[in-house]
Homo-oligomer: A and B are copies of this chain.
Amino acid sequence: MQAGRLSWKDVREAIHEWILSGRYGPGDKLPRDADIAVELACARSTVQRAMQDLSDSGIVERRRKGGTRVRQDPVVRATLDIPITRREIEDRGGLYDYRLIERSFGKPPRAVRIAMNLSDAPDMLRIEALHLCDGRPYIFEDRWVCTTTAPNILKVDLSRDSANEWLVRNAPYTRFEVKFFALNADQRTAELMATTPRSALLAIERTTWLDDRPITHVTAIAAPGYRLLSRS
């Protein structure tokens, strides 16, 4: 970064400082980008880049002609990284292991069809698998794969390679949805996860699409004590 010149991140900090210090409070209108550029002695596009970031972060609200205002109800916007399970475990320094529990065909239950936004119910590949960290259950994965969208998965030996990994590498998506919720372990899940029935488990439900065709729907159930952290 060149000395004496402001980067757009510097500009963002400067403007954020104005807000933190109360120079501009919630609902207040900020000066036009052009005027800020003059005040801070930088190009307007630099201010624009900074403002775009403040807007993305939910701190500021911008409207053409209406100008820029400090948001009344700031939103906490958190970003989460959900890596491949194998990598997640290896990055923690754990030993990864994987076990295929079931592989079958059938019509997905209604909840899955709804999540995929499907009216009819074609047969899909059903996969149940367990990811282990240092020999202990880490994540149980209950997955449905749409074989019309991702037919090549039928050639994969899922007892060796996890669908999680194969899909992420070989079936890129254009859109996805994620849901987080807590559930009580039922009898079977408790056995699989080596815990007691009714244990509270974090579930991460993910659906991916290639354009408008669903690829897969997975419910990943994490072992007790699992914590999902936001990116710094």
A residues whose Cβ falls under 8 Å from a Cβ of B: 16, 19-20, 26, 58, 72-84, 87, 168-169, 172, 174-184, 198-203, 206, 210, 222, 224-232
A-B contacts, 27 of them at CB < 8 A, read: A20-B172, A26-B169, A58-B81, A72-B169, A73-B84, A73-B87, A74-B168, A75-B83, A76-B82, A76-B83, A77-B79, A77-B81, A77-B82, A78-B79, A78-B82, A78-B178, A79-B80, A177-B230, A178-B230, A182-B182, A182-B201, A182-B224, A184-B184, A184-B200, A198-B200, A200-B201, A202-B202
Q: Lowest 3 CB-CB distances: which A-B pairs, in order? A: A182-B182, A200-B200, A178-B230
Residues of B with C-beta under 8 A to A82? 75-78
In the complex, A182 Cα to B225 Cα: how many Å? Answer: 8
B183 and A200 form a contact (CB under 8 A) = yes
Residues of B with C-beta under 8 A to A169? 26, 72-74
